[in-house]
Amino acid sequence: MALRNVRRTHAGAAVFLALTVVLVFMLTSSAYAKDPQLVPRRLASTGDSISAGIDVEYYGQNANASWVNGYYGFWEWLFGYTNVKSHNQRITANWGSWGRANYMDAVSGADMFDFPGQTAQAVSQSAQYVTVFMGHNDVCQNYPWEIPSDAVFEANLRAGMQNLKNGLPNGATVYVLAIVDIRQLYEVAKDKKALGIVDCEVLWFTTLLNLFPCGTMLNPLNTEADRQYTRSRNIAFNNILANVTAEYNANDPHHYYYFTNLPFIYPFTEGDVSSLDCFHPSGQGQKTLSRESWNVGPFYLYQKGS
């Protein structure tokens, strides 16, 4: 009889323990479950001249040709501009035009120091989808010693990400893209001709006078060691982008954070580089960036507009 009671006691304890484990698991899981992900009807970009669409098919800002905010209507068709099939266009193709908003907060010349300000704008716009394509101008300085330290770069990145965490509506998505491999850009474009007339390498000589961006890579007096150093800073900043994005995604139950290294590893070709300035993406390059980043991004299951 005593033995039977002991067995019953042990059985009861086992059941109680199992129920406790299940309850703890459920509570823990619910504590870290994400809010439902919002449809990305309100889009805001943060970034620099690439997202702003500089020198794509005519000098200056070609907002219609931005990989993220671009649009294509009658006038773009009439003048024969490239339909880049931007993220903005893809969102409309997949979810319709109702409730749509398309904000370009990216500014030519911006670097990570400007990121907190741009994210504050995205928050004020109640964005549901924010793209982050920033850091090219941190790598592209006139001289190597002007490239910011990892600590400075990360501090500005975190300040901007904290703005997004604190201010975006629950369920919003943040999509962070790696900085393009600027060394690959150099290799791809050095045999290209600007306007079909001037060798890009001749144009890049103006970096000696600080009249052209990215002397840290394009200056003709750079050695191979100089260019490898610049590339190492490029890689270091991308590692920071990846790590901080992963950290925020793991610790914020209210928002979704994604990172892709695609812009760094994608084999861009000469045709992807602008024939106007031998530096920014061409129409083809913007279209490539839109397609490839969408297809590995947070909404890749939605392919309309591809």
Enumerate domains of the chain plus CATH numbers: 41-295 (3.40.50.1110)
- Give the pLDDT band of residue 101 (cuts 50, 70, 90): very high
The two beta strands, 198-199 and 193-194, are: antiparallel
Question: Which pair of structure tokens corresponds to residue 88?
Answer: 């903005």
Share of residues in the chain with pLDDT > 70 (%)? 89
| pLDDT tens sequence across 272-298 | 999 999 999 999 999 999 999 999 999
pLDDT band at 184 (very low <50, low <70, confident <90, very high): very high
pLDDT by residue (tens digit) across 198-251?
888 888 888 888 888 899 999 999 999 999 999 999 999 999 999 999 999 999
Euclidean distance between the first and final Cα of the chain, in Å?
Answer: 74
Q: With the CA atoms of 291, 295, 298 and 303 taken in that order, what torsion angle do they form, in degrees rounded to the nearest 10?
A: 90
- Give the C-alpha separation, 296 to 45, whole Å: 17
Q: Kindly tell me if the per-residue pLDDT of 124 is higher than 60.
A: yes
Percent of the chain predicted with pLDDT > 90: 78
Is the confidence at residue 31, as pLDDT, over 60?
Answer: no
Average pLDDT over residues 43-70: 96
3-state secondary structure string, the chain?
CHHHHHHHHHHHHHHHHHHHHHHHHHHHHHHHCCCCCCCCCEEEEEECHHHHCECCCCCCECHHHCCCCCCCCHHHHHCCCCCCCCHHHHHHHHHCCCCCEEEECCCCCCCHHHHHHHHHHHHHCCCCEEEEECCHHHHCCCCHHHCCCHHHHHHHHHHHHHHHHHHCCCCCEEEEECCCCHHHHHHHHCCCEECCCEEHHHHHHHHHHCCCCCHHHHCCCCCHHHHHHHHHHHHHHHHHHHHHHHHHHHHCCCCEEEEECHHHHCCCCHHHECCCCCCCECHHHHHHHHHHHHHCCCCCCCCCCC
In terms of Cβ atoms closer than 10 Å to its own Cβ (0-12, 13-18, 19+), residue 213 is buried
Question: Which tokens belong to 200?
Answer: 């890009």
The pLDDT value given to residue 191: 82
Q: What is the pLDDT at residue 21?
A: 38
Q: Is the model's pLDDT at 38 over the cut of 50?
A: yes
Averaged pLDDT, 56-79? 96
pLDDT tens for each residue of 125-180: 999 999 999 999 999 999 999 999 999 999 999 999 999 999 999 999 999 999 99
Tokens in use for 208? 């000696």
Per-residue pLDDT at 11: 47
Model pLDDT, residue 18:
45
pLDDT value at residue 32: 60
